[in-house]
Amino acid sequence: MRIEVRDLTHIYSEGMPFETVALRNVSFTMEPGSFVGLIGHTGSGKSTLIQHLNGLLKPMEGKVLADGVDVTEKSEASRSVRRKIGLVFQYPEYQLFEETVLKDVCFGPRNLGMSQEVCEDRAFHALRLVGLDAEDVKDRSPFGLSGGEKRRVAIAGVLAMDPEVLILDEPTAGLDPKGHNDILDMIQKIRQARDLTILLVSHNMDDVARLADYVLVMENGALVMEGPPQWIYAQEEKLQQLGLSLPSATALMRLLARQGHPVRTDILSAAEAEEEILRVFG
């Protein structure tokens, strides 16, 4: 699914003393099958932006088009495309509520009027996709699971709706390093298994560098930079002005280059950095 954002503007408390412009003329396109990273400080407009992408918020100005359909229209076509845009909020495990994992993951498909057989088939497939043993967890209470498992169940609930676009808002927030890496591995697995358009919102530059093939940078409600990660992270001075850091592997390569070592400075991942260090230093 292709997502087009055109001149999007949103103002909170318009006309009031505490009026806040959350989005200012934001425009970009997410091509089908792309993996887009969205970065920026807290308050830069990221959360407001993603809530427009499936019609949770209506823009003051501008449009969001999904395969050419305005997501805020009151039409069957609009309702249909909104169902294909899955949004996983930060700490999605707080939204779990059913007595068993299977019932929780089945909730979305069941609300779409699907049969119990179809709901369970989708739920089992989604649970396996997020790395859980469906048979083992299906009858367990979601509240008895670990934090990482709860998050996987919540994400499975969105995947069971069979989205074409998956929006992930800080999916690794609050997890320990192992849980963090497990969730990133899961996201890569989901991308390989399904032809999804994915938008990842993150403060972690390493995560965005590892996963995204296109990056959007927000500041004060405006889209101030966009492009492939190699180009974005080459703009070190601009990122510093925005208070954003480089991926750790990139920062290390830049430091070595400033010390006179003939290393590449377009490295984004730890694996690439390891290969380059071995190449240069043996």
Tell me the pLDDT tens digit for each residue of 58-116: 999 999 999 999 999 989 999 999 999 999 998 888 889 999 999 999 999 999 899 99
SS3 5: strand
**Does the pLDDT value for residue 134 go beyond 90?**
yes
Contact 120/130 with Cβ under 8 angstroms?
Answer: no
pLDDT digits (tens, 9 = 90+) for 138-180: 999 999 998 889 999 999 999 999 999 999 999 999 888 998 9
How confident is the model at residue 15, as a pLDDT? 85
Distances (CA, A) of 188 to 193, 202, 210: 9, 15, 10
Question: How far apart (Å, rounded) are the C-alpha atoms in residues 44 and 263?
Answer: 34
The domains of the chain, with CATH numbers, are 1-84+163-228 (3.40.50.300), 96-161 (no CATH)
Mean pLDDT of the residues in the chain = 94
Res. 282: pLDDT tops 90: no
> What does the DSSP 8-state code read for residue 142?
G
The upper half-sphere exposure of residue 17, i.e. CA atoms within 13 Å in the direction of its Cβ, equals: 0
Q: Is the pLDDT of residue 195 over 90?
A: no
- H or E element, residue 83: helix 76-83
Task: Tell me how many helices (H) and strands (E) the chain has.
Answer: 12, 10
pLDDT at 14: 87
Q: What's the token pair of residue 6?
A: 């055109």
Whether the model clears a pTM of 0.85, i.e. scores above it, the answer is yes
pLDDT score at 42: 87
The pLDDT score that the predictor gives to residue 29 is: 97
Cα separation, 18 vs 209, whole angstroms? 36
Q: How many CB atoms lie within 10 A of CB 279?
A: 11
pLDDT in tens, 135-148: 999 999 999 998 88
Count of beta carbons in the 10 Å neighbourhood of residue 241: 11
- Supply the pLDDT for residue 277: 94
**Is the distance from CB of 88 to CB of 62 less than 8 angstroms?**
no
- Give the model confidence (pLDDT) of 10-62 as tens digits: 999 988 888 999 999 999 999 999 999 999 998 899 999 999 999 999 999 99
Q: Given a cut of 90, is residue 226 above it in pLDDT?
A: yes
- Alpha-carbon torsion (189, 36, 2, 227), positive or negative: negative
